[in-house]
Amino acid sequence: MRQAMIRAVILLVAVLAGLSACGTIEGVGSDISAGARTVRGWF
C-alpha cells in the first residue's frame, strides 16, 4: 500500500512539473505532440 502511494505522488509531481514547464495551452499541445512522436518512434 505504501509503495502505491509513493508511486502516485511521484506521478503527480512529474505531471505537475511537466504542465508548469508548458506555460500555455499551446505549449501543452506541442508537448503532447512531441511525446506522441517519441512514442511512435519506439514502435
Please write the tens of the pLDDT for every residue from 13-27: 888 877 776 666 677
Predicted confidence at residue 13, as pLDDT, reads 86
Q: Return d(Cα 24, Cα 22) in angstroms, integer.
A: 6
Domain hosting 9: range is 2-42
Q: Which amino acid is at 35?
A: G
Q: Tell me how many domains the chain contains.
A: 1
Phi, psi of 24, rounded to the nearest 5 degrees = -140, 170
Query: Which ranges constitute the DSSP H helices of the chain?
Result: 2-22, 25-42
Predicted confidence at residue 23, as pLDDT, reads 64
Q: Return d(Cα 13, Cα 5) in angstroms, integer.
A: 12
State yes or no: pLDDT of 35 exceeds 80: yes
Predicted confidence at residue 21, as pLDDT, reads 65
